[in-house]
Structure 1
Amino acid sequence: MALNGNGKNGRKRRKRWIFLGSGAAALLLIVVIVSAALRPNHAIDPDKLATVERGDIARSVVATGKVQPLTGVEVKSKASGIVEKLFVDAGDRVRAGQVLAELDKEQLQAAVGESRANLGAAEAAKQAADASYQKNIVDAEGPDVPFLKSDMQRAQDSYKQGLIALNAMQDAQKNYQLALNRQMSAQRNVQVSKADVAEAEAQIAQAKAALDNANENLQYATITSPIDGEVLSRDVEIGDAVSSILVLGSQATLVMTLGDESEVYVKGQVDESDIGKVYLGQPARISVESFKDKKFQGRVTKIAPLGVEKDNVTTFEVRVSIINATGELRANMSANAEIILEEKKDVLLVPEGAVIFDKDKSTSVDLVDPKSDTGRRRIPVKVGISNGVKAEVLSGLSQGQQVVLQ
């Protein structure tokens, strides 16, 4: 019985030790887990890391605007009428003097015929007035007056001598008086006929002017290109009515828009805080939506001397010209002209988000340092120009080092 009791007690003691051992192990595991959970984790999220690398950087200002042809012309007609023929379409190349369109000429040709007939009538009236004037001049000189006066005096002497009858003398006196009256009347008519000649000359001048105008209108019915370039838009179709620019001015019908796109420009606005850094001939890079991976080279060719204030912000108009030999840039494309203020090639670059500025405007960055208690180490650096995304590193970092984005 005693052995059995000892055996049972031994088994109880072994179970108790096993239980205590398991509890101690479990407690140790809990302590390890809790310690691991409470221990600071200094690993840095890879998304917060950036590598110092080499590249090109430029400091610039951006002028946003539209692509415009350097030479652009709105073609309007000097004559009114109906479009009868169109010889070009949008996208066609044209030369100066090339016929673009023709208006219906029937009424214009009729006007030319009427004006020519009026000129003929005026010239005929002038001839008649000249003939009358010349006749009056001759009559005003009275070529037969001296002869008839002598004849009258001889008749009077003969009558006194009783050689002729009274009625013969009276006839001589009458003939002389009639000639004298004709002379005086002609002298008065000279001024009248002279005025008739002047009026006829004025009628001729007026008729010639009307004929010239009719001929010009007939010529204006043929619309030609004023420049070498490209048809940017054709704004009328056959059968459309066209109003004259000579009558309606800027409100006249737009027939076509032409432009020379071999050289184009972007007209944009630059803030007054940056305009002092912009100068004529300054290089610029132009980007458009149609060619997202391509930059076009240009230069500043115009800076407005007068700023424009809007919403308390003053801006200056700047024009950037681009040689468009390939014709890729087209009118009215939205474009950004990046005017280069300063550019560096093959320099160390770091994201601006990694640069730390203190109250003294000193700059520093956090380097990845696994040995540090925080997993990072702050070092001073010297930065150069920035483009708003990346900054040039002048000293303090080497290529390949990893920095922490703040």
Structure 2
Amino acid sequence: MKLSHLIILAALTSQLLLDSCTQSKSEPISSNTEEQVIYPAIKVESAKPSQELQIPGELESYFETDLFPKVNGYIKRIHVDIGDRVSTGQVLAVLDAPELSLQLAEATAKMRSAESQLNTSKSVYKRLQKANQTPGTVSPNDLDIAHSKIVSDSLTWLGTKAVYQSIQVMTEYLSIKAPFDGVVAERRLSPGAFVGPNDKSAVAIFKIKQENRLRLRIPVPERYISAIRLNQPISFSVMNLPDKQFTGKVSRISHNVNKQTRSELIEIDVQNPQLQLVSGTYTQVTLPFQRNTTSLTVPSSAVATTLEKCFVVKVENGIASWVEVKKGIEAEGKVEIFGDIKSGDTVLKTASDEIPNGVAVKTKL
């Protein structure tokens, strides 16, 4: 019984092995080979990129100055206060300096004395000339002495006159006048205060600002300065007048890059007759600009940035290579690039450091 069972089991095993061999010959085993990835690619283009740069700016008064006294004295009267509008030459304050008045009186007396002496010398010389019409009456030496006296007295008079004029000018400094049309931004002293250049802790009496004309100062990042030009239009807004848009044109370019901020300062003249704008206010500036020459552009995704470099993945003859570039103007999803690359080159639309340098890739434009 056991023997028959073993015979049957052996027959079944042989049949199974036969079926397996037959199946392996008729049906080949499929291999799990990975299909090659196809990368989207684009052509590098030449264009004149334009962009509207949003950067902050600051309004400053066109002219701004602190008024210090030229001479020593006490403040006698103050005619203006903070917020007052002043015009050129207007007297803002008057100083009192009694010693200066005494010096002026002394200089006046000396000048008039020298003038009187000069007039006397001229009169003597004229009388000698008249007497000399009679031969032998006046010696030539007396005429020479009289003429020399006129020259000496004339120089003395000119010296005393110069001293007088100098002190007179100093007395005019007792009146503190506005150097330009503007607004009194600060008044720091009051009547009775001692002021003057000899005061070691000198404090300005007033701060005057010209507010009817302002300067808008804008620091332009270094990467954009080559696209800035004179008379370029701009627009800006301020926080205290959010519903208004102001316009202007680039008036001055500093042509100097700040080493700390890596930016170049430009200025825009802003007319402000109604004093709507206030100096010291921050602004949001819209600065449209465009390159004067063509440059190379690619989609922003085509430029990869790592800690070491900024690059695009160039594909040539099916081989990917990293080409280091520098970015320029970036707008509307495209960016300027500068490097060892030319118009018409093929680069991957999406660059990544996961694609090794020098690997074979398959692309589709």
TM interval, short-chain normalised: 0.5 to 0.7
Pairing of 1:53-132 with structure 2 (within 5 A): 60-132=52-124
**Secondary structure at 1:261's aligned position in 2?**
coil
The Cα of 1:326 is off from its aligned counterpart by: 4.4
Q: Are 2:257 and 1:308 aligned?
A: yes
Question: How much has 1:190 moved relative to structure 2?
Answer: 1.8
User: What is the identity, as a one-letter code, of the residue corresponding to 2:99?
Assistant: Q
Structure 1 residues 64 and 360: alpha-carbon distance in aligned structure 2, compared to 1, 3 A threshold:
closer
Which position in structure 1 is the counterpart of 2:346?
A: none
Shift in CA distance, 386/298, structure 1 to aligned 2, threshold 3 Å: farther
Structure 2 contact 234–250 (Cα < 8 Å) conserved: no
- Pair 1:335-2:283 in alignment: yes
CA contact (8 A) 2:217 2:265 kept: yes
More helix by percentage: 1
Q: Structure 1 pair 191/325, CA: closer, same or farther in 2 (3 Å)?
A: closer
User: 1:113-152 alignment to 2 at 5 Å?
Assistant: 113-137=105-129
CA RMSD across the alignment? 3.6
Distance 1:258 1:220 in 2: 17
- Using the TM superposition, give the Cα deviation of residue 191 of structure 1 relative to its aligned residue in structure 2, in angstroms: 1.4
Q: Which amino acid aligns with 2:215?
A: Y
Q: Which residue of 1 aligns with 2:146?
A: 193
SS class of match (1:108): helix
Query: 157, 170, 176: which one pairs with 1:204?
Result: 157
Q: Kindly tell me: are residues 108 and 325 of structure 1, through their superposed partners in 2, closer, same or farther at Cα, counting changes over 3 Å? A: same
Residue 252 of structure 1 deviates from its aligned partner by 7.9
Alignment coverage as a number of residue pairs = 249
Over residues 237-272 of structure 1, what are the superposed CA-to-partner deviations in whole Å (9 max), with x where a residue is unaligned?
Answer: 32333336xx99xx9863322222123222121012
TM-superposition CA deviations, 1:162-218 (whole Å, max 9, x none): xxxxxxxxxxxxxxxxxxxx74xx421221221111111112222222222232222
Structure 2 residue aligned with 1:35: none
Q: CA deviation at 1:105?
A: 4.5
Residue correspondence of structure 1 range 275-354 to structure 2 within 5 A: 275-279=225-229, 280-288=231-239, 291=240, 293-294=242-243, 296-304=245-253, 306-311=255-260, 314-341=262-289
Unaligned 5+ runs, structure 1: 1-57, 146-181, 343-355, 362-383, 388-406
Q: TM-score, normalised by structure 1?
A: 0.52
Confirm whether residue 256 of structure 1 aligns to residue 206 of structure 2: yes
Whole-Å Cα distance in 1 between the matches of residues 273 and 57 of structure 2? 20
Once the two structures are TM-superposed, the CA of residue 65 in structure 1 deviates from its matched residue by 4.2
8 Å CA contact retained: 2:300, 2:333 = no
Query: Does the 8 A contact of 2:187 with 2:206 survive in 1?
Result: yes
Aligned partner (choices 309, 329, 332) of residue 385 of structure 1: 332
Stretches of structure 2 lacking an aligned partner (at least 5 in a row): 1-49, 291-298, 305-330, 335-365
Provide the residue aligned with 1:221 in structure 2: 174
Deviation per residue, 1:4-26 (Å, 9 max, x gap): xxxxxxxxxxxxxxxxxxxxxxx
How does the TM-score come out when normalised to structure 2? 0.57
Alignment partners' CA distance in 2, 1:360 and 1:103: 69
Distance 1:194 1:360, change over 3 A: closer
CA distance in 2, matches of 1:282, 1:296: 13
- Residue 316 of structure 1 aligns to which amino acid in structure 2? E
Q: Relative to structure 1, is the Cα distance of residues 115 and 386 closer, same or farther in structure 2, using a 3 angstrom cutoff?
A: farther
| Identical amino acids, percent of aligned pairs | 18
Structure 2: distance between partners of 1:309 and 1:63 = 16
* Bigger Rg over Cα: 1
Instruction: Tell me the distance in 2 between the aligned counterparts of 1:357 and 1:137.
Output: 100
